[in-house]
A and B are shown apart, each in its own frame.
Chain A
Amino acid sequence: MQNKDLNILQQFNILYLEDDENLLKHTKDVLEDFVNNIYAVKTSKDALDVLLNKKVDIIISDILLENENGIDFLKHIKEKNINIPTILTTAHTDTKYLLDAIKLKVENYIVKPINIKELLNTLHDVLLPIVQQKEIQKNTNVIKTISAITDSKQVDIVKFIINNLDNENQFTASYSDIMDEVSISKPTLIKLFKELAEKNILIKVQHKTYRFNETALDNL
């Protein structure tokens, strides 16, 4: 719990489907501290209701429900083109549903009794890509916004350099090579390289070869 940033869970809504009222209540009591919203429901009908009306980021569902089956519920919502990551909880003996679960591309499978750390970690693991996706989207947006308001040519050069880095973060090209790719005047190009070298971002290793120094970015 300590080595994972569980705070990322704070922004998500969880749908929790469990037929045992006691467990539903107590698990809800625990989880609600970590997440934005937890919708705790007892039947698939209620669950579907929540799915249609609320924003749900992840589903936690028991397999054996009263008179129904969590797997069937998942199949049903997949058919409706609702693709929400799912964690299944189940009693140890119900491993026969495992194959179905894998076919439905269920994210994880937790055996009861539920270990809350395991559940939270799983939630974290499942939700982290979503968080990261959001982060990337954010950064892209930042770059795009910056390039819109500054000299777009320089941004293009930086993009070119970063895109052409090899495995050792090294970049090999002559000015003319760059100028063939990006329409830029040679004085501007030289000025840009000089500026990057001064800030220790691009270090000349040998002729026409530069090393991109990532650590220098943090010191800016």
Chain B
Amino acid sequence: MVNKLKQIIAYFDNLSFKYKTSFLVFIIAGGMICIVILSQVSTFTIKQDFDVLFDKRTKSLIKLEHIKDTYNVNIQDTLKDLETEEITLEQASDVLLLAQQLINKNWSSYKVESSDERSRFYIISLIKKFFINEETFHENKILKQNIIKNIDKKMYKIKNYLNYMIKNKIDYDYANLNLEINAISIYITSLINYDLSLAINEKRNTQKIFNIIMFFSIISIVLVFLFSIVLSVYIINNFKKLHNSLEQKVEEKTKELTELNAYLEIKISKEVSQNRKKDIIMFQQARLASLGEMLNNIAHQWRQPLGSITMIVQSFQTKMLMGKLTDQFVDEKVHDALLLADNMSTTLDDFKNFFSPDKAKSKFQIRNCLEHSIELSKYLLEKENIIVKLEIKEDIELNTYYNELSHVFLNIISNSKDALCSTSPKDDRIIKIIVNKYKDKAVVNMLDNGGGIKEDIIPKIFEPYYTTKYKSAGTGIGLYMSKQIIEKHMEGAISYKNIVHKIKEDDTNYKCSLFTIKIPIYKKEAVNAK
């Protein structure tokens, strides 16, 4: 039994939350309905019983009382008055007839009423049938019949006496009549008593039904209450469990998230530092690349004077051998050699300035920077037969990093050079640089008639390590570096597009590439420039 209960509890415990709740709702609703029905039933029963008690018992009792009263008061009193001869026989017979009529009427209605078995409510009869042993010991139908028979007999006797008396207009045996009336009174009283006891009995039954209904309703209330409480406890437990598990889950997730966060932070910082390292390496690579290019330039610019100086040095030896070494010759050659050496020194200075890292911003004319950049790449440009046209519509004073800007110009010139070398014929290679001012920005347009860049790779040209050049020819970071310098260091913008442009003064249209560099001019500087 206990095991089964436990099983049920366990089963219930395992039910899902949804079922538990609906179960609770069902139980509460069912209980409510039970209570309501029971209360209704009890109310109706009580009312019914009350009605029955009143109608059936009280009314009939009243009738019996009436009969009794009529006998006692009307008939006996009239007879007494007649005996004492206060009234005439005539008067008395009227009263007596009237009384007899009243008695007959009441008596017949009483009989009808008492024999009339009222139909009861089905439920009440059901309850009565099953739950109550109706106390019927008081109800003795034979006794009642007997009493009624006796009363009938006595009534008939009295009636006969009275009728005889009235007909014969004689004084009959009053004492005997009184005795009969008293006897009938006693019979009626016993009938009343009997009826009363029945009424009491019925009242008791009603009381019992009421008690049973009350008992059931209290039990159902208690049951509903109990079930509700138990279920509520279960549901609350469920809630608690759910809450706890949720809390645990949240805690776990929070922990996981915190760990992930920490891991991510570490990873991000790692990535950032790696990125920074990468950037530094790229900057170094770019610097080395341009350094290499510059070295190439220096090498070439040095080669010629070096060749001349070598020749001069050797000329002394040969002249000596030939015996033609004159003072004049020595003076002349030494002068030339010194000039050449001086030239070489100047070249070195130029490049040295270019490589000296300038951390601080400086004020300079954009024309100077451009001219210097062109000068530095002159060797390569001349070698590849490239003409550079510099068109300065408005010279602008900038306050920014001279060398970095120069690097950018050199990069783009170098790109244009590579493009021109691979696409254009030798006598038709032009780089055009136009400087203009737009609002508060210096705009440098750098064009070349190298045919432009293929549309599908334009979006990639500013990406690091992207190169179309064969292996060692390009590192793929020149334009990336340029973008970094212009956007990050100078807060400017660099963009590229293919255009069709009459780059020469004639009417020929060329497919051109166009790099546009925009560098903000600060207002203070702008004012100063004016």
A residues with CB within 8 A of B: 1, 20, 22-23, 25-27, 29-30, 33-34, 64, 67, 91, 112-117
7 contacts between A and B (CB under 8 A): A20-B304, A26-B312, A26-B336, A113-B307, A113-B309, A114-B307, A115-B314
Contact between B321 and A116 (Cβ–Cβ < 8 Å)?
Answer: no
Contact between B314 and A30 (Cβ–Cβ < 8 Å)?
Answer: yes
Q: Would you give the 0/1 interface string for B311-350, flagging 1 where the beta carbon is closer than 8 Å to chain A?
A: 1101101110110100001000100100010000000000
Q: Which residues of B contact A117 (CB under 8 A)?
A: 314
Given A22-B340, A67-B385, do A27 and B303 touch, yes or no (CB 8 Å)? no
B residues with CB within 8 A of A: 300, 303-312, 314-315, 317-319, 321-322, 324, 329, 333, 336, 340, 383, 385
Expressed in whole angstroms, the minimum distance between the Cβ of A122 and any Cβ of chain B is 14
Most buried by B among A25, A33, A113, A115: A113
Contact between B305 and A33 (Cβ–Cβ < 8 Å)?
Answer: no
Could you tell me the distance between the alpha carbons of A13 and B333 in the complex, rounded to whole angstroms? 24
Contact between A27 and B311 (Cβ–Cβ < 8 Å)?
Answer: yes
Given A33-B318, A33-B322, A67-B385, do A20 and B307 touch, yes or no (CB 8 Å)? yes
Expressed in whole angstroms, the minimum distance between the Cβ of B302 and any Cβ of chain A is 10
Contact between B315 and A26 (Cβ–Cβ < 8 Å)?
Answer: yes
Q: Which residues of B contact A113 (CB under 8 A)?
A: 303, 306-307, 309-311
Q: Which residue of A lies closest to B305 (CB)?
A: A22
Q: Which residues of B contact A67 (CB under 8 A)?
A: 385
Contact between A33 and B304 (Cβ–Cβ < 8 Å)?
Answer: no
Could you tell me the distance between the alpha carbons of A91 and B308 in the complex, rounded to whole angstroms? 13
Contact of A23 among B307, B322, B333 (CB under 8 A): B307
Given A26-B312, A26-B333, A67-B385, do A33 and B319 touch, yes or no (CB 8 Å)? yes
Contact between B336 and A22 (Cβ–Cβ < 8 Å)?
Answer: yes
A-B contact count (CB 8 A): 58
Q: Which residues of A contact B303 (CB under 8 A)?
A: 91, 112-113
Q: Which residues of A contact B336 (CB under 8 A)?
A: 22, 25-26
Contact between B318 and A30 (Cβ–Cβ < 8 Å)?
Answer: yes
Could you tell me the distance between the alpha carbons of A113 and B344 in the complex, rounded to whole angstroms? 15
Expressed in whole angstroms, the minimum distance between the Cβ of A206 and any Cβ of chain B is 54
The 7 nearest A-B residue pairs measured at CB:
A113-B310, A22-B308, A116-B314, A26-B311, A113-B307, A30-B315, A23-B308
Expressed in whole angstroms, the minimum distance between the Cβ of B298 and any Cβ of chain A is 13
Most buried by A among B315, B318, B319, B322: B318
Expressed in whole angstroms, the minimum distance between the Cβ of A128 and any Cβ of chain B is 20
Given A22-B336, A22-B340, A67-B385, do A29 and B307 touch, yes or no (CB 8 Å)? no
Contact between B318 and A23 (Cβ–Cβ < 8 Å)?
Answer: no
Q: Which residues of B contact A29 (CB under 8 A)?
A: 315, 329, 333
Q: Which residues of B contact A114 (CB under 8 A)?
A: 307, 310-311
Could you tell me the distance between the alpha carbons of A25 and B308 in the complex, rounded to whole angstroms? 9
Contact between A23 and B311 (Cβ–Cβ < 8 Å)?
Answer: yes
Q: Which residues of A contact B318 (CB under 8 A)?
A: 30, 33-34, 116
Expressed in whole angstroms, the minimum distance between the Cβ of B466 and any Cβ of chain A is 28
Could you tell me the distance between the alpha carbons of A114 and B309 in the complex, rounded to whole angstroms? 10
Q: Which residues of A contact B319 (CB under 8 A)?
A: 30, 33
Q: Which residues of A contact B385 (CB under 8 A)?
A: 67
Expressed in whole angstroms, the minimum distance between the Cβ of B317 and any Cβ of chain A is 8
Could you tell me the distance between the alpha carbons of A91 and B385 in the complex, rounded to whole angstroms? 18
Expressed in whole angstroms, the minimum distance between the Cβ of A120 and any Cβ of chain B is 8
Q: Which residues of B contact A20 (CB under 8 A)?
A: 304, 307-308
Expressed in whole angstroms, the minimum distance between the Cβ of B227 and any Cβ of chain A is 103
Q: Which residue of B lies closest to A1 (CB)?
A: B321
Could you tell me the distance between the alpha carbons of A25 and B311 in the complex, rounded to whole angstroms? 10
Q: Which residue of A lies closest to B339 (CB)?
A: A22
Could you tell me the distance between the alpha carbons of A21 and B383 in the complex, rounded to whole angstroms? 17
Could you tell me the distance between the alpha carbons of A34 and B314 in the complex, rounded to whole angstroms? 14
Q: Which residues of A contact B310 (CB under 8 A)?
A: 113-115
Could you tell me the distance between the alpha carbons of A98 and B329 in the complex, rounded to whole angstroms? 36
Q: Which residues of A contact B306 (CB under 8 A)?
A: 113
Q: Which residue of B lies closest to A66 (CB)?
A: B382
